[in-house]
């Protein structure tokens, strides 16, 4: 799913300011203002997770889904954790849950030996912040993860994804009205932070389902208006290899992150199979897992694409539908969920509620 396009509602206000310094080793220290779970909270979560494991009809696996980790909070990207938030979330997972590599967890679920309270960590799209900011924290806590990489953006220099180019423009354009009516869009306000947030969200939603040439026109216009000085956001080939060598599994996410239902079948097949092949050539081992771009079942992909993924030789594939994996779903349409709670106890409870309710309960 494209990072900035989430529409889920937060139940609590955004976290306070994070570190406003360059990321590095110092970020591995627990920030003084970071919310803490405490010994009692951790014990309660572990006990509740154990009880769910004992009394549930079937064992279930919660897969959490991130995109970027931010060096500092960004109001236009408030569904993404900053380093401090990601740090306490990983600390909580390490303390209260069993974090397993995704492929191994699916195998364990198949074989009836999945431990209770098992969580897997995934990142979509292949942002370099997974390498620069998340990896040191994952290593600190000894946590495995999977990154679903959009292969065409690896090593693309400044070639950021279109949604990030929209965010860049909305961040940097001067206050006023952004008139895009000649592109078949609307007029958008940039007069306040809240207006910019709404504009970024509306343009991202509109962009997702525009025909590719119209979306290219939109992004090219915004690039021209706002300047082309983007930070390169996507992983380099060396970073993908470094992640893989540090215990981060590489999964596929197509070549160019299209909405698969917008493509003809031959193009969709190439996006799915050649994206896998490009990553395998890079890391020198099979790429077994796939995540559908944008991931909405029946809207962003359909039964044709499920079959293409199966035929391409993947072991499993993931949507952005809510719920936990219980072993009785289609192996090629497995749900993942995104915890958005801003305090550790609620974050932990959310994961437990997914496990308790399996795939019966959307958020």
CB of 36 to Zn ion, least distance (A): 32
CB of 204 to Zn ion, least distance (A): 12
Residue of closest CB approach to Zn ion: 124
Within 190-249, the residues that bind Zn ion by CB under 5 A are none
Residue among 44 and 297 whose Cβ is closer to Zn ion: 297
Residue among 188 and 290 whose Cβ is closer to Zn ion: 290
Q: Is 78 in the site for Zn ion (CB under 5 A)?
A: no
Taken in order 139, 324, 161, 84, the sign of the CA dihedral is negative
Q: What is the rounded distance in angstroms from the CA atom of residue 158 to the CA atom of residue 326?
A: 40
Residue among 133 and 149 whose Cβ is closer to Zn ion: 149
CB of 161 to Zn ion, least distance (A): 8
Residue among 80 and 124 whose Cβ is closer to Zn ion: 124
Residue among 118 and 254 whose Cβ is closer to Zn ion: 254
CB of 41 to Zn ion, least distance (A): 33
CB of 328 to Zn ion, least distance (A): 26
CB of 294 to Zn ion, least distance (A): 6
Within 272-291, the residues that bind Zn ion by CB under 5 A are none
CA–CA distance from 124 to each of 90, 254, 310 (Å)?
A: 17, 11, 20
Q: What is the rounded distance in angstroms from the CA atom of residue 303 to the CA atom of residue 84?
A: 40
Residue among 124 and 249 whose Cβ is closer to Zn ion: 124
Residue among 44 and 270 whose Cβ is closer to Zn ion: 270
Place of tokens 């993404």: 80
Residue among 68 and 269 whose Cβ is closer to Zn ion: 68
Tokens coding 345: 């106890």
CB of 295 to Zn ion, least distance (A): 7
Measured from the Cβ of residue 284, the count of other Cβ atoms closer than 10 Å reads 8
Size of the site for Zn ion (CB under 5 A): 2
Contact flags string 102-141 toward Zn ion, x per CB under 5 A: ----------------------xx----------------
CB of 326 to Zn ion, least distance (A): 24
> Which residues contact Zn ion by CB under 5 A?
124-125
């Amino acid at each position: 799913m494209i990072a900035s396009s989430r529409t889920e509602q937060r139940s609590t206000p955004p976290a306070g300011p994070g570190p406003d310094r360059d990321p590095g080793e110092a970020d591995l220290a627990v920030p003084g203002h970071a919310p803490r779970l405490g010994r009692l909270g951790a014990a309660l979560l572990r006990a509740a997770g154990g009880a769910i494991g004992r009394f549930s009809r079937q064992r279930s696996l919660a897969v959490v889904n991130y995109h970027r980790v931010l060096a500092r909070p960004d109001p236009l990207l408030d569904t993404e954790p900053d380093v401090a938030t990601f740090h306490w979330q990983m600390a909580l997972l390490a303390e209260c849950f069993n974090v397993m590599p995704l492929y191994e967890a699916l195998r364990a679920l198949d074989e009836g030996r999945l431990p209770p309270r098992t969580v897997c960590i995934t990142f979509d799209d292949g942002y370099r912040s997974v390498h620069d900011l998340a990896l040191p924290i994952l290593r600190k806590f000894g946590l495995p993860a999977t990154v679903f990489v959009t292969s065409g953006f690896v090593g693309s220099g400044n070639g950021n994804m279109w949604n990030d180019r929209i965010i860049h423009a909305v961040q940097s354009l001067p206050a006023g009205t952004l008139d895009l009516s000649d592109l078949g869009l609307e007029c958008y306000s940039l007069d306040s932070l809240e207006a910019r947030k709404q504009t970024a969200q509306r343009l991202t939603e509109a962009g997702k389902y525009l025909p590719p040439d119209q979306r290219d026109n939109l992004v090219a216009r915004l690039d021209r208006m706002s300047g082309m000085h983007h930070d390169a956001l996507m992983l380099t080939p060396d970073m993908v290899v470094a992640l893989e060598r540090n215990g981060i599994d590489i999964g596929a996410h197509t070549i160019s992150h299209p909405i698969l239902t917008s493509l003809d079948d031959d193009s969709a097949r190439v996006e799915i199979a050649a994206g896998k092949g490009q990553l395998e050539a890079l890391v020198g081992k099979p790429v077994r897992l796939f995540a559908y771009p944008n991931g909405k079942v029946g809207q962003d992909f359909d039964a044709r694409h499920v079959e293409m993924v199966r035929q391409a030789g993947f072991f499993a594939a993931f949507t952005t539908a809510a719920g936990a994996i219980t072993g009785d779903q289609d192996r090629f349409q497995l749900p993942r969920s995104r915890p958005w709670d801003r305090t550790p106890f609620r974050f932990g409870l959310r994961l437990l509620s997914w496990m308790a309710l399996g795939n019966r309960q959307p958020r």
